[in-house]
Structure 1
Amino acid sequence: YRALKTSNLPTIRALYDDADIAREHPIIPRWKQIFLNAVPRPSAAARIKYNEASSQFWNAVHNTLSGDGTAADNLADLEAMLTKLKGRGW
């Protein structure tokens, strides 16, 4: 119902192949592969340290896209920071 009436992306896999939805909103079937390959953010794994881990990740990506260091160097730095943050466990 929501996919047809509001074009919200469905959470039920079969609806990405539904002919009525495809006819009404042709963009929705294109999202099927993204839906099938989606990975949740690691909030469950990082627990209370998630905000800090997310911030460090954002900074590494931002630095790379801004030309402040190479992707390889920024990812190596990120790995070191996350390893330190993790300590003996999340």
Structure 2
Amino acid sequence: MKLKFPVLDAFFKSLEFTVFYARFEDDKGVLKFEVPQRVSMGRIEDYLENMMSSSVDGYHYLLRRVKDDVRITEDDMDVISGMIYR
């Protein structure tokens, strides 16, 4: 069964993604990348080379920063719940 996107259905269904995996350091996590277009192997290598230059402990600095900034902790959820269910 195919579902429709609630908005811009045709747009989202027209997207083609390139998916690839990479590891910046031995014995560190594998990262999954999804690019919303067809990308050549050379371009993927360029992306990874640029990202590797600013990786820290096997994780790209900006990706780590985003992950840390958007993480919602249990304490955050308690505060949010308190605001919603007063």
Q: Same fold (TM over 0.5)?
A: no
Answer 1 or 2: which has greater strand percent: 2
TM-score (normalised: structure 1): 0.23
Give the TM-score taking structure 2 as reference length: 0.23
More helix by share: 1
